[in-house]
Structure 1
Amino acid sequence: MNKIVTLEEAMSHIKDGMTVMIGGFMAAGTPEKFMDALVEKGVKNLTLIGNDAGWPDRGIGKLLINKQAKKMIASHIGLNPEAGNQMNAGTLEMELVPQGTLAERIRAGGNGLGGLLTPTGVGTIVEEGKQKIEVDGVEYLLEKPLKADIALISASIADKRGNLYFNKATKNFNPLMATAADIVIVGAEKIVEVGEIDPNDVMTPGLFVDYMVEV
């Protein structure tokens, strides 16, 4: 199967109302050309899952500025004032999740688990509406897994089978999200022949990747 497609073909899989995971941390490791293409496409009512809300002009922030999301699940939104404005205005449903819990919920989704137990948030607003479970005298919150229809991730290098390498901090949420979506679309800075990535450097195996665009 040829996984290399055009940007237009890749974006054709994203429809109104979908849940979309977007890799990156403060927009580092976010596939910017995918953000621009989604803004141009105008797809709307998305549920976005990402570490943060990006910046007003970078990362996920571009989609929020264009009011294409109905809900955001993230660990913080302080870099993008528009996210807070929409949340306070009631036009964007916001679910704030402790960063480690967010990562583990995505990992649980990718591994087919029913959730995870964490002490983070016990006794705070984070526990509202969640089941508490006691283990050996310690209270934990049951946090449910996160999955998505689409994961949009960025890779530094991909080979033609979809094996991925992420340079430095761009690794962040990208490998986790590649396991937790029905369709995984990669924006690769460089696509090489199979074998050009040392197997020891492969961070996401190609079996997780459905489509790639060289960006």
Structure 2
Amino acid sequence: MLKVQKMLVGAMARLDDAMVLNLVKQGLQMGINPYVLLEEVRAGTERVGELYNKGEYFLSDLIMAAEIFKDVLEMVSKVSKGKNRTTPLVSPYSPVIFGTVENDIHDIGKNITIGILRYSGFSVWDLGVDVPAAAFVEAAKRCQSRIICLTGLITESYDSMKKTVQLLDEAGLRGRMTLIIGGLVNEVVRQYTGADYWSTDCRKVLELCRTISTGNEMKAQSL
């Protein structure tokens, strides 16, 4: 089993889509937890991002990595449904509003995180990219959600995040919302925007959403 998992990370890093899908299929047949397989594919995707930052991969490679991940997620979801692992009609989790903020169109990390959230039982409102602050406010009014995830990969997105937080406050919604920012962010950016949490790791975002949506804010503080 460990051999399949290690090979999966390497195949994803090489963008060998046929090998990735074949290894995932083998892993499922061997009884490996689907979430473990998704984690290995995600780790391989991170390597693609690292190679992109080094100038060894290009934007088209990042897009291809996102497409491979999407195919893996669809395969895992189909197999899981066949084994009666379906998302319950009433999810135990709060819906999550998710979007790339205004002036930014990057969505690879967003799409991967949304895929993992949905696989894990969350209902996600995907607002897309270049989303105006007012659109997040409108979604918060329409959706009984406690969580909004804002993402951005350029510095211009920081002001858009800050504006979104301010508009939520002006609309009287900030008090019931927990805001998580992701992308090219850190603690300094979190403080500047007024968000509650920041993360560059989709696994941490998943755990944050789980703990926040079940009302365990104290546990979320330690994540």
Task: Identify whether the pair has TM-score above 0.5, normalized to the shorter chain.
Answer: no
User: Which has more strand, going by share of residues?
Assistant: 1
Considering Cα pairs closer than 8 Å and 6+ residues apart, tell me whether 1 or 2 has the greater RCO: 1
User: Which has more helix, going by share of residues?
Assistant: 2
